[in-house]
Structure 1
Amino acid sequence: MNKRPHEVFVWPLCTRIIHWIIATSFFFSFLTSFQHALFRWHLSFGLIFGVVLLFRLIWGFVGPNYATFKTFKLSYQELQDYFVQKVQNRWRKIYAGHNAASSWFTLIVLGLGSLIVLSGLLLQGTQEASGIFSSLNVRYFGFSSSLLVSHEILSYVLFTWAIIHIIGVLIEQFYHKTNMVFAMLSGYKKAEGTDATVSIIRHLFSYAVIGLSLGMLYFVASSDETFFTKSRFEKRNFQAENSSFYEKCGKCHKIYPPFMLPYDSWVRLMDGLDNHFGEQITENNITKSEQMSIKAYLLSHCAETSTHKIAVKTLESLGDMRPISMSKVPYWREVHQSIEKRVFKSLHVKNASNCFACHPDFEYGIFENTRIHIPK
């Protein structure tokens, strides 16, 4: 017997929570993708999105009535009849479970969402050299551009479908008066059918996934390094690699990793020490043998030798340019264009060349998007 007259209990609380986690995790992952400084949050919400999608896939086979795939209306005729009835009969009776449109939309979310998560993890591994696929960076970095395009296109397509879905729900709510919006809040639909029930085991399974999602959000978003963000690149000991580079260059400024600039840029810089950013470097400062040692080291560890994202992206953006200042690199300007100029002039940063202010462990060659801290 149904608990409410003329209404059916369709969506148990656990199902409703999972539904909103799917929606919000995708939305916030999409929203945070436009800022490099929010990459940690983008990754966190993306991982949650992947976890709940996997749950929903399993739930489609073992979940309660109205949630399983066997109750979906997936034939073309059913889809056609749904839209015909929707146009011709404003006060039609609605099915307790998924109608034909929501059945197909659920499959679209599961399909596109899974591809988005997979492409995102592969992109993180190949381009960022971090996460569960970080080992792919060395051999497959060249595929990262294609993965990025695929990841973005799939995300925009799913976002478009989500907008269409929301419009459809609002039409049901305000035109057909079916209270569809409140169904995912209360769990009840104005429909014909039998109330859904959920066993204790299903409850435990679903709430464990919900707990895992919340725990993952806290774990990944609040930690500098986790299993999901660990980079294959370790801290570099530049003093051990070349003591002259570390000690002589480090006398006047912090050490900049050599893979930041290309071969020809380092040649220009080392051959122009008589005017080194307005300063004259002589043999009294750095001996000829030390200059040769530093130059050889820089050239052997330049951008062309690295699969760091900053190295590859710098080379791609330069064309024929070979600047000796990183702030002149088009890629650098592109990723920093959203940062207000006042940040660069603040007491903490002072100028655009102070990469160390926002990138912890920069002097050790660490460039992790998850570790960017822009001063307020």
Structure 2
Amino acid sequence: MTKTYIWSLFTRLFHILLIIAVCAIFLIAEFENLLDYHAIVGYTIGLLLLFRIAWGFLDVKHSKFKDFNFNIEDLKEYLLNIFGNKKEYAGHNPASSWAIIAMIILGLASVISGVVVFGTQEGMGILSFLNTSRYKDMDFFEDMHEFFTNAFMFVIFIHIAGALLDRFLHNSKAVESMIFGYKEGDGKSVKLTRFQQLFGVLWIGLALILFTYLLLTPSNILIKDSNKAVDYRAEHEQFYKECISCHTLYPPYLLPKESWVKMMDDLENHFGDDASLDEADKNSIKDYLVKNSAQTSTKESAQKILKSIKNSDTIAVTKTAYWQNKHDAIDKSIFKSKKVGNISNCKACHKNIERGLLNDRDIQIAKGV
């Protein structure tokens, strides 16, 4: 049977790179210390999708949007006959035509919402300036990002399931064609112009260059961390000296003001110890803690602790629902290891906590006995 060259090299490269990127971002999504890599892959996906949009308008046979079949009646007929004698299409069938548009829209929405969350919640990237009191209610942006990414993955799953069904039920070579470019049957082969070839080289190359650049330069504007370290000794020496002499220096934003007031007013019973201070020092430290408490912070951890705390009697960060949920998956033996000792030794894994930083990129789970 005659073979027709349907998918150009750049269409196939886009497809393969997108598959790799989506698999990578899905696998690392649950690892908070890999957030930078999540963002890097996300930006790369965004650039690849922009390439696909441009490619769809460059008059590339079978890949251009004009060759997509968006006819609703054809879609109904295709789906109703999916297990029977369905019509074969040289390029995209009606179902895949709609799926590709949905994936492009949802993919870009996922990237854009991810950039917004990265900025508003983490204080990182090009939208880090949005990490202000105006955007304290960060859950909305996070919920939107999760909605778009889940919808994106759902459409991808349906698209893959359809391709595999076509492959094993009808012995279609659609999957192989996206690898090698050819489909069996008579039709017009794709032939790229010099401009299309140059555009493909530049855009695919740009995606790979962007990925490499972001990977090698963590201080670049797209993933730069705008959170500033705090010199607590310089800000309030008494707070620094009294707290760090006994335990990890906890940033004031990790508890609401009510918790700090309760704690400071009962230093005689400070987690089993008498940490009494003279009245002047106690009031000075208390005022500093209240002034810099969770209510005054735009940090992600501060806002989520505020929402998770059930009553103002909670004076231990480790007793908040947010802390417990975030650390639930960690092997309990780690907290008892010599390197950690107990659950309150936050600096064992959060190396910059005593400088006011609890960034995901800094998380290093302590290992060893």
What residue in structure 1 maps to residue 271 of structure 2?
Answer: 277
Say whether 1:141 aligns with 2:135: yes
Give me the whole-angstrom Cα distance separating, in 1, the residues matched to 2:355 and 2:254: 12
User: Which of 93, 103, 108 matches 2:102?
Assistant: 108
CA contact under 8 A between 1:229 and 1:370: conserved in structure 2? no
Give me the whole-angstrom Cα distance separating, in 1, the residues matched to 2:350 and 2:207: 28
C-alpha displacement at 1:54, in angstroms? 1.0
The TM-score normalised by the length of structure 1 is 0.90
* Of 115-124 and 272-281, the range deviating more from structure 2: 272-281
Give me the whole-angstrom Cα distance separating, in 2, the residues matched to 1:191 and 1:140: 59
Give me the whole-angstrom Cα distance separating, in 2, the residues matched to 1:13 and 1:71: 18
Say whether 1:243 aligns with 2:237: yes
User: Which of 350, 358, 370 matches 2:361?
Assistant: 370
AA aligned to 1:144 is M
AA aligned to 2:331 is E
Give me the whole-angstrom Cα distance separating, in 2, the residues matched to 1:120 and 1:330: 25
Say whether 1:299 aligns with 2:293: no
Give me the whole-angstrom Cα distance separating, in 2, the residues matched to 1:163 and 1:224: 32
CA contact under 8 A between 2:248 and 2:344: conserved in structure 1? no
What residue in structure 2 maps to residue 83 of structure 1?
Answer: 79
Secondary structure at 2:56 match in 1: helix
C-alpha displacement at 1:33, in angstroms? 2.5
User: Which of 120, 125, 143 matches 2:114?
Assistant: 120
Give me the whole-angstrom Cα distance separating, in 2, the residues matched to 1:166 and 1:122: 29
Aligned residues between the structures: 367
Relative to structure 1, is the Cα distance of residues 324 and 20 closer, same or farther in structure 2, using a 3 angstrom cutoff?
Answer: same
C-alpha displacement at 1:74, in angstroms? 1.2
What residue in structure 2 maps to residue 258 of structure 1?
Answer: 252
User: Which of 304, 310, 315 matches 1:319?
Assistant: 310
Q: Is there any run of 5+ residues in structure 1 with no aligned partner, and where?
A: none
Give me the whole-angstrom Cα distance separating, in 1, the residues matched to 2:326 and 2:218: 21
Give me the whole-angstrom Cα distance separating, in 2, the residues matched to 1:325 and 1:29: 34
CA contact under 8 A between 2:133 and 2:297: conserved in structure 1? no
What residue in structure 2 maps to residue 189 of structure 1?
Answer: 183
What residue in structure 1 maps to residue 25 of structure 2?
Answer: 29
User: Which of 42, 46, 51 matches 1:46?
Assistant: 42
Secondary structure at 1:207 match in 2: helix
Give me the whole-angstrom Cα distance separating, in 2, the residues matched to 1:277 and 1:143: 32
Deviation sequence 1:250-301 (CA, Å, 0-9, x none)? 2223421111111111112212222222222244xxx432222211111111
Relative to structure 1, is the Cα distance of residues 126 and 6 closer, same or farther in structure 2, using a 3 angstrom cutoff?
Answer: same
Give me the whole-angstrom Cα distance separating, in 2, the residues matched to 1:252 and 1:140: 36
What residue in structure 2 maps to residue 210 of structure 1?
Answer: 204
What residue in structure 2 maps to residue 64 of structure 1?
Answer: 60
Relative to structure 1, is the Cα distance of residues 370 and 228 closer, same or farther in structure 2, using a 3 angstrom cutoff?
Answer: farther
AA aligned to 2:75 is L
AA aligned to 1:75 is N
AA aligned to 1:156 is N
Give me the whole-angstrom Cα distance separating, in 1, the residues matched to 2:313 and 2:299: 18
C-alpha displacement at 1:73, in angstroms? 1.0
CA contact under 8 A between 2:248 and 2:345: conserved in structure 1? no
Give me the whole-angstrom Cα distance separating, in 1, the residues matched to 2:273 and 2:290: 22
* Of 254-263 and 337-346, the range deviating more from structure 2: 337-346
Q: Is there any run of 5+ residues in structure 2 with no aligned partner, and where?
A: none
What residue in structure 2 maps to residue 6 of structure 1?
Answer: 2
Deviation sequence 1:284-336 (CA, Å, 0-9, x none)? xxx43222221111111111111111111001001224322211111011111
C-alpha displacement at 1:215, in angstroms? 4.0
Say whether 1:332 aligns with 2:332: no
Relative to structure 1, is the Cα distance of residues 218 and 253 closer, same or farther in structure 2, using a 3 angstrom cutoff?
Answer: farther
AA aligned to 2:259 is S
Deviation sequence 1:179-228 (CA, Å, 0-9, x none)? 12211111111232122123444334333433443444444456554322
User: Which of 345, 350, 354 matches 1:359?
Assistant: 350
The TM-score normalised by the length of structure 2 is 0.91
AA aligned to 1:343 is I
C-alpha displacement at 1:161, in angstroms? 1.6
What residue in structure 1 maps to residue 163 of structure 2?
Answer: 169
* Of 126-135 and 75-84, the range deviating more from structure 2: 75-84
Give me the whole-angstrom Cα distance separating, in 1, the residues matched to 2:354 and 2:144: 34
User: Which of 323, 333, 345 matches 2:336?
Assistant: 345
Relative to structure 1, is the Cα distance of residues 322 and 282 closer, same or farther in structure 2, using a 3 angstrom cutoff?
Answer: closer
Give me the whole-angstrom Cα distance separating, in 2, the residues matched to 1:373 and 1:13: 41
Relative to structure 1, is the Cα distance of residues 156 and 365 closer, same or farther in structure 2, using a 3 angstrom cutoff?
Answer: same
CA contact under 8 A between 1:36 and 1:335: conserved in structure 2? no
